[in-house]
Structure 1
Amino acid sequence: MDYQFTIIVPLYNEEANLLRVEKELGKYLHEASLKTCVLFVNDGSTDNSLELVEEICSRHSEFKFISFEQNRGLSAAIKAGFDHTLTPLVGYIDSDLQTDPEDFELLLKEIGDYDLVTGVRTNRKDSFVKNISSLIANGIRRSFTQDGMDDTGCPLKVIKTDYAQNIPMFKGLHRFLPAMILLQKGKIKQVPVRHYPRIAGKAKFHVMNRLVGPFIDCFAYLWMKRNYIEYKIARKNE
Structure 2
Amino acid sequence: MAEPTSETFPEISVVVPVFDEEGAAPALAREIAQAFAGRDFEIVFVDDRSRDATRQVLTTLKTEIPQLRVLSHTSNAGQSRAIRTGILAARGAVIVTLDGDGQNDPADGPKLVDALLAGPPDLALVGGERVKRQDSRAKKVASRIGNGVRKRLLKDTANDTGCGLKAFRREAFLRLPYFDHVHRYIPALMIREGYQVDFRPVNHRHRQTGASKYTNLGRLWASLSDLLGVMWLQARARRPGAVEEL
Range of TM-score over shorter length = over 0.9
Tell me the residue number matched to 1:17.
Answer: 24
Q: What 5-or-longer segments of structure 2 have no aligned partner?
A: none
Which one of the candidate residues 62, 69, 83 is aligned to 1:64? 69
Q: CA deviation at 1:115?
A: 0.9
Instruction: Verify the 8 A CA contact 2:13 2:43 in the aligned structure 1.
Output: yes
Q: CA deviation at 1:203?
A: 0.6
SS of residue paired to 1:109: helix
Between 1:161-170 and 1:116-125, the stretch displaced more is 161-170
Q: Does 1:8 align with 2:18?
A: no
Instruction: Verify the 8 A CA contact 2:36 2:110 in the aligned structure 1.
Output: no
Which one of the candidate residues 92, 110, 113 is aligned to 1:108? 113
Q: CA deviation at 1:26?
A: 2.3
SS of residue paired to 2:107: helix
Distance 1:86 1:176 in 2: 23
Q: CA deviation at 1:227?
A: 3.3
Paired residue type of 1:225: Q
Q: CA deviation at 1:225?
A: 2.1
Q: Does 1:159 align with 2:164?
A: no
Tell me the residue number matched to 1:233.
Answer: 243
Q: CA deviation at 1:50?
A: 1.1
Q: Does 1:38 align with 2:43?
A: yes
Q: CA deviation at 1:228?
A: 4.2
Distance 2:62 2:231 in 1: 40
Rate the CA distance shift 1:230–1:14 in 2: closer, same or farther, 3 A.
farther
Distance 2:54 2:138 in 1: 28
Runs (4+) of structure 1 moved beyond 6 Å? none
Which one of the candidate residues 111, 115, 134 is aligned to 1:125? 134
For residues 160-175 of structure 1, what are the structure 2 equivalents within 5 Å? Answer: 160-175=169-184
Q: What 5-or-longer segments of structure 1 have no aligned partner?
A: none
TM-score of the pair, normalised by structure 1: 0.93
Tell me the residue number matched to 2:224.
Answer: 215
Instruction: Verify the 8 A CA contact 2:46 2:82 in the aligned structure 1.
Output: yes
Distance 2:212 2:161 in 1: 17
Instruction: Verify the 8 A CA contact 2:25 2:102 in the aligned structure 1.
Output: no
1:51-83 C-alpha deviation (Å, 9 max, x unpaired): 112112243220002111111011111111221
Tell me the residue number matched to 1:86.
Answer: 91
* Identical-residue share of aligned pairs (%): 26
